[in-house]
Structure formats: C-alpha cells, structure tokens
Chain A
Amino acid sequence: MADETVAEKPAPQRIIAPGYTFGTITDQIASVVLTKKTPLFWMVCFAVGFGLLLMFLWAVVVLMAKGIGIWGNRAPVMWAFDITNFVWWIGIGHAGTLISAILLLLNQRWRNSINRFAEAMTLFAVACAAMFPLLHLGRPWLFYWLFPYPNTMNVQPQFRSPLIWDVFAVSTYATVSLLFWYVGLMPDLATLRDRTHSRFARGIYGIMAMGWRGSARHWSTYEKASLLLAGLATPLVLSVHTVVSFDFTIAIVPGWHSTFFPPYFVAGAIYSGFAMVLALAIPLRKAYGLEGLITDRHLDNSAKVMLATGLIVGYAYVLEAFTAWYSGDVYEAASVWNRMTGPYAPAYWTLVFCNIVAPQFLWFKRIRGKPVLLFVWSLVVLVGMWLERFVIIVTSLAQDYLPSSWGLFHPTRWDWATYFGTIGLFLFLFFLFIRLLPMISIFEVRALLPQARVEEEAQG
C-alpha cells in the first residue's frame, strides 16, 4: 500500500495580477487619493449620496418637529421600517468584520486587497444602523439615558432586557471596528504622508499616522496587535447579530420566539454583507482600473461565500416552516401560514425568490465570472435580505395571538425618505473615504507580491 504517489503541492495561486512591484502598487493606490483630479464617477456617486443625505436630514427635521407619528408605525405594528433597516444595516456591516478578522485568522491572504474598504463599509453601515433606534427614541437627544450613569432621576437601565444588551453590543462593535480600521490604516497613512506634495495633506496624514516609520520592532508588535484584534473581533461580530436576534427571540410573539434565530441571523448578515461588498467592489475596480488588485478571483470567492451563506439562510426558511408545523403550536403555525398566504405574501415570496432561488445560479462558474451579472445578483440579494427582515418583523406583529387586534402596516413617504436617506448617508461617507483614504490596504498588498518573500540561502 505504501505507494509513493505523493500529490504535487499545487503552486500557490496568484492573488493579484502579475507585473506589479512595491512601487507601482503604492503609486497606483495612493494616486487615487493624492491626485488633484476627481473622476466623474466619483462626482456622480457622491452627488447621489449627498442628495439622498439632504433628503435624510429633511426627514429627520420633520421627525423632530412632528414626532414619530409621521412614520407608519401604528398599533399593533409598533416596530416596522426602523428596526428592519437597523437589522439590515448592521447585517451588511458584518461582512467587513468577517473579511478583516475571520479571514485573517484563517490565513486567507486574498482578503488583503478587499479588507480596507470592507471595514469602511462596516463602520458606515453601523453608523446608518444606529440612526434608526436613535430616531425611534422619539427624543434622540436623550439617547444617553440608555447608558448606566448616576443621575438625579435615580433610575437605571434594565440589564435583563435584550434591548439594553443591544446598546452595549452595537456600541462595542462600532468602537472595535473603528479601532481595528484605524490600526490597519496607520502604515498607509504614513505612506500618504511621505508621498504627498501638499504641505497641508502632509500635516494631516502625518498627525493621523502618529509618526509611523515602519520599524521592525513596531511591525512585530503591530502584527501581534492585528492578530489579537482579529481574535477579539471574531466572537464580537458573531455576538452582535446574535444579540440583535435576541431582540426578537426573547419576546413571545409567534414567528419570533425561536431558538434558531441567532445562527440564522448571523448567516443572513454575512450573506447580505458580501452582497454589499460585491456591489461596491465591482463598480469601484472598474472606475479606478483596479482589476489587477481586486481580481476576478476576489469576486469569485465572495460569490462563493454568498452562495454558502445563502444556502444556510435557505435552510433556515425551510426549518422555520418545519418547526412551525412540527411544534404543533397553532399560533406558530398560523403565523407562518399568514406569512405565506396573508397580506404580506408578495413580500414573502419575493424574498424566497431573492434569497433562495436566485443564489442557486452562483453554482455556475460562468455566472460568477461575469462582474456585471454578479453586480445585479448582489443587488437582488440585498433587496431579498431587506424583505426578509421586513417580513419577520412586520408580519409577526401585524397578526399575532388575537385576531381582533390585527392590523396592517402602511409605510409613509417619511419611512421611505428615512430609509433611502441612510443609503445616502452611507454613500456620502463611503465616497468621502474613497477620496481621502486609501481604499485598498497598501502595505498588505505589498506583502502579497512574490518579491516580498525572503529567499533563504541554501543551508550548507
């Protein structure tokens, strides 16, 4: 049996296109930021984002003036667009942390050219997500009541409520994501400081780089810190969407009170997050000619992650229906039946199409290899995942135990304006980031080059 058929170890696949050097990588990525010419693509996207942001501000001003009655939330549907959008945005953020932390721990080096903008996406998505619970408070300027602090009212938050867990989980997540992102940026800020010709820019980047000089002593601590932060961010990201799902599962509303929500929510989060990564990466690499750094392999891998998490989400839908039937609980069964056939049936079947049927096409390499198709697919998934949260939240509340108190939710134009407004906020922040900071981690991409490997002399 001792057959000497040792399989040849396959040569490591190239992650970025051949022909790059340390210098050309640096110049190409830094030039996007340091150039004086702003491309038309950027102008258009920024203008769209800024326009929507103004609409958001308008919607918020009206909200402050008139109160949350301008939204469509009415008894029994007291949670609607606000929480749907909150969960949707938080979920989108999770892919950034997955790419930056989990793939770092798993030594998936292809992540190096997409982690920076994915982390930025996380930060801005969390910022958008935070808008909704804050605005839904009714008096957002009193948000600090959510935190425990000694006060003259002599009251404290209820630590047994998942809503307060959410406050801690999301604020920790935002802080840790910001720290991780900033630590990753430091060496690249030093590069920009040394590359720019403008005194002003050198000052700003210099302050932000904190005097980074690429010393071997610093790098060795830096690498440790990155690994530790990744190790901390990994359980954190899984916990955040778990806690978000607790907002529902701890309640006894039929259609919410179920133990498989945490893994189902986490998978759904990563699913929609990778869709957003693709939706951002495909136009960006085209517009800035970065196909050599964000290659077809990156798109292919992201599509595969999307397919895998999409299958988990599909499994959760099947399980949801099965559990409702198998539990013998009439309310649970009725809530699933109402979802499928009731007033929100069109939303339910659209989400089944978007989240279960559509991703099956990603099994085919020919579809994964076409960026334009992938872009469309990722938008379909984003819509599907938004509908999923909408269906879970609204249908369960609209039709719960007591048919006499059933009622439907009708979104108002302010609901829509606030929702699209946060998309504007996201685009606004994201395109500012593209213009002012390197969207690809320069030093990590340098490390991907074959020249970066130290050739050991043959030991005599």
Chain B
Amino acid sequence: MTRPIYGVMAEFESPTALVNAARAAREKGYRKLDAYSPFPIEELTDALHLHHNRLPLIVLIGGITGAICGYLLQYYVTVWDFPLNIAGRPLHSWPAYIVITFEMTILFAALSAVLGLLGLCGLPMPYHPVFNVPRFALATRNRFFLCVESTDPLFDRRRTCEFLETLEPREVSEVAH
C-alpha cells in the first residue's frame, strides 16, 4: 500500500508545449487539471475551459453597494443627523453628493475586486502540495507545469504518468500530499 498522492506533474520548456499538453489531456478525458506558468497565457484559459468567472459580478455588487452606502451616508448626515439650515436651502442637496457617491462606488468596487480575487483563488494559502516538487520553484521563473490531480476519475498513477510521458515533457514527477 503506497501513500496516496496529490497528482502527477509534467514539466515543459515553452508555453506552446504546455498549451498543447493541456489540450491533449483534455482530449484524453482528464478534467481535474491545472497548469502552472510564470505569466498568464491566454490560450491556456481556452484549453482548460476556464471562461466562467464570477469576479465581474462580485465587483458589480460591490460597486452598487458602495454607491448606495455613499449616498445614504450623506443623506443621513445632512438631512437627519446634522441638518444645517443655511438661508433656507434644501437639506437634500443631491448635486453636492455626487462626488462622494462616486468615490465610494470606486472604493467598494476596487475592494471587492481584490477580495474577490483572493477569495476565488483561495488565497492566502500557506500550504499547497505542488510545492513539494523541488523543480516547481521554477514555475515562477521559466518553466511550465501541467498537473493531473488524483481526484480525477480517470486518474491512475502508472497510466497517467505514462500518458504524460507521451507529451514529450522535460520531466514527470509525482506530487506528494
């Protein structure tokens, strides 16, 4: 009985090789795949079918919340909490609220963009098994990695390794938990 592993990982030299390998693995039927690269590769998003993304919705909700909060804050303060009667001018002076409403929209939207990014990526993450592969340190320098995770229904330690070997990688290694 060997210990279960996180997956197997193949190392590639170029973005083209990685994208081709990711496509081949998808075609083979693998779904629990992840690719690691030192910079964003647009084609990889296509190859791994990663288009669905909830971030824009999160940012939209954040922005609307900010706008409402900004406006209501000013309305509450100038009309209810601290009304100043200056020559009988209306208390609900909405044109003067525009600037702060706008700034609060941007502030809330930007905060939700960053928190949404971290949340959707599951960061901060103090530990992740892929870092157990010694050569993975090069994923932030000049190497490209494709990992088939063991949770994939088609995953089989030996056969998946053999399949990855057919993609002409530099090296194939097992990722320990």
Contact = CB atoms under 8 A, between A and B. Distances in A.
A191 B121 CA distance: 18
Interface stretch (A227-235, A319-327, A391-399): A227-235
B12 to A, nearest CB: 12
B78 interface: yes
B141 A26 contact: yes
Contacts of A447: 39-40
A221 B36 contact: no
A210 B125 contact: yes
Chain A facing B: main interface SS: helix
Contact of A232 (B42, B73, B109): B109
A165 B74 CA distance: 11
Interface stretch (B44-52, B152-160, B163-171): B44-52
Contact of A191 (B59, B109, B140): B140
A346 interface: no
Contacts of B35: 215-216
A284 B139 CA distance: 28
B59 A228 contact: yes
B14 A451 contact: yes
A164 B110 CA distance: 21
A91 interface: no
A157 B128 CA distance: 48
A453 B16 CA distance: 8
A451 B14 CA distance: 8
A236 B106 contact: yes
Bin the interface of chain A by size: 35 or more
A435 interface: no
B78 A210 contact: no
A159 B103 contact: no
Chain B facing A: main interface SS: helix
Given A223-B40, A455-B16, A216 B141 contact: no
Interface string A11-48: 00000000001110010000000000000000000000
Interface in B77-91: 77-78, 81-82, 84
Contacts of B103: 165, 168-169, 172, 236, 239
A210 B106 contact: no
Given A225-B114, A233-B110, A444 B39 contact: yes
A223 B120 CA distance: 13
Interface in A420-454: 443-444, 446-447, 451-454
Interface stretch (A175-183, A253-261, A335-343): A175-183
A235 B16 CA distance: 37
Nearest to A175: B107
Q: Top 10 closest A-B pairs, CB basis?
A: A22-B142, A210-B124, A211-B125, A156-B82, A194-B137, A225-B117, A219-B40, A216-B35, A160-B96, A191-B140
Interface of A: 21-23, 26, 148, 154-160, 162, 164-165, 168-169, 172, 175-176, 179-180, 182-183, 187, 190-191, 193-195, 207, 210-225, 228-229, 232-233, 235-236, 239, 243, 246, 443-444, 446-447, 451-457
